[in-house]
Structure 1
Amino acid sequence: MKKPLVLIAAVAAVATPVLAQNAGQIASVRSGHDCRGCNLFQGDFSNIEKRGLNLTGSRLRQADFSLAVMNRTRFANTDMRDVEAYGAVFSSSNFSGANLTNASLVGAYLEGSSFAGATLTGANFSGAQLARATGLTQRQLNQACGDEATTLPGGLHIPAC
């Protein structure tokens, strides 16, 4: 009799989303509130205009920032894997220590933003403006890609996508 109970418990554990998004936290950020260490997984932040938010240490994996304007936002040490940020404006934002693996930042405006220690593996910066970005290294950029329209700080280059 114990075997069916164990099987039911195992199936329930697999079906339960352990790290699902927090809709209340997403709504709070969309309203312009700071949310350090929040679970914003797959949040829709497209087309919003907020500045100076503190999202340090938050989980933003697979979030949508398309056409968002979020200048001076703190994304330090965030999980931003697989984010979509087509045409987003993040001037003077802090991405230090952020994980931007496979992020799509096509056409993003990132002037004055800091990328010290950020993981850029597979990130697409095609057409992105990064000429005044800080903390970028050639080693980071070798793991990312861009195109002829990508602007970078002097002396740095990025592989083609």
Structure 2
Amino acid sequence: MKTAVFALITAALTSTAAAVDRADVLAAGGCENCDLNLMTLREVNIKNANFSGVIFREADLKEAKLPGANFKGADLRRTEFEKSVLTKAIFDGAQMRGIDLEKCNLEEASFLDGVDLRSADMAGANLSKAQFTGADMRDAHLRRSDITDANFSNTKLVKSDFERANGPRANFSGSDLSGSDLSRIKVAGGSFRGANLRHTDLSHGDFRNTDLTDANLSYAIMRQTNFSGANLEDVSGLSQSRLDVACGDENTRLPDGYTIKICSSSKY
């Protein structure tokens, strides 16, 4: 019955110039391909909503509860979702430049098919197990976010902010993090294979047991960075002077001729 209602309402809204209101969206369980530009849907509560292809540009959906929502191909530029629940939501191929996802719950959400997340605000968000492979996240703000088991492989992350993010086992393989802030990040057990970390701030970061095979560490700041158990054996751009201010342990793998001091037992 709900599917039939959705089809009827969506057909009416997309075939006429009729204004869409909150009641229409709630009744239909979404609004596929609708123009909801500037609309206010604060605290809206719909499970598995269908907003694929919707225009939500600069709309207000703060504190919305939309678990499992479908936003494939949607225009979400500068949309406000602060403190919303968007677990397992699908944003594949969406335009999301400048979107506000601060403190949102986006656990297991999908951001694939070249989604545009440039300058997105994800500070303090739960991004655990989220998928970002191939996304454009240049200048994105992810300070203090939870990126546990998240996948950022082959993602554009130039000048992004991950300060104090918590992300055990996060995958950054093949990503471009040049010029980014990863200070005080916790990514123990993560992967940075082939990642570009040129001019990246890794100071005070927890990189225990991370795989940095073939990563570029040219001019990276590594002040008090913990590389215990990490694999830096085949990195490029490494210098002994920068490594001297980091620390590791007997299991840290380094290129021939390089050394690293042992971390204090209180480090992490």
C-alpha spacing 1:22/1:31, structure 2 compared with 1 (3 Å): farther
Deviations 1:81-106 (A, max 9, x none): 00111100011011011000000100
Could you tell me which of 149, 152, 158 is aligned with 2:207? 152
Partner of 1:45: 101
Partner of 2:110: 54
Verify: 1:65 aligned to 2:65, yes or no. Answer: no
SS of residue paired to 2:197: helix
- Which residue identity lines up with residue 136 of structure 2 in the other structure? D
C-alpha spacing 1:23/1:74, structure 2 compared with 1 (3 Å): farther
C-alpha spacing 1:89/1:45, structure 2 compared with 1 (3 Å): same
- Which residue identity lines up with residue 52 of structure 1 in the other structure? E
SS of residue paired to 1:117: coil
Question: What are the residue-to-residue correspondences of 1:115-154 with 2, within 5 Å?
Answer: 115-137=172-194, 140-147=196-203, 149-154=204-209
Verify: 1:78 aligned to 2:135, yes or no. Answer: yes
Higher relative contact order (CA 8 A, sep 6+): 1
- What is the distance in 1 between the residues matched to 2:208 and 2:199? 16
Percent of residue pairs identical? 19
C-alpha spacing 1:66/1:102, structure 2 compared with 1 (3 Å): same
SS of residue paired to 2:196: helix
Partner of 1:4: none
- What is the distance in 2 between the residues matched to 1:101 and 1:151? 20
- What is the distance in 1 between the residues matched to 2:136 and 2:116? 5
Deviations 1:130-152 (A, max 9, x none): 12111435x623442121x2011
- What is the distance in 2 between the residues matched to 1:58 and 1:119? 16
**Comparing both structures, which one devotes a greater share of its residues to helix?**
1
- What is the distance in 2 between the residues matched to 1:160 and 1:81? 22
Q: TM-score, normalised by structure 1?
A: 0.75
- Which residue identity lines up with residue 88 of structure 1 in the other structure? S
Q: Deviation of residue 111 (structure 1)? A: 1.2
C-alpha spacing 1:136/1:124, structure 2 compared with 1 (3 Å): farther
Unpaired stretches in structure 1, ≥5 consecutive residues = 1-20
Unpaired stretches in structure 2, ≥5 consecutive residues = 1-55, 60-73, 224-268
Deviations 1:23-55 (A, max 9, x none): 57446x855220111101001010111211110
Count of residue correspondences? 140
Q: TM-score, normalised by structure 2?
A: 0.47
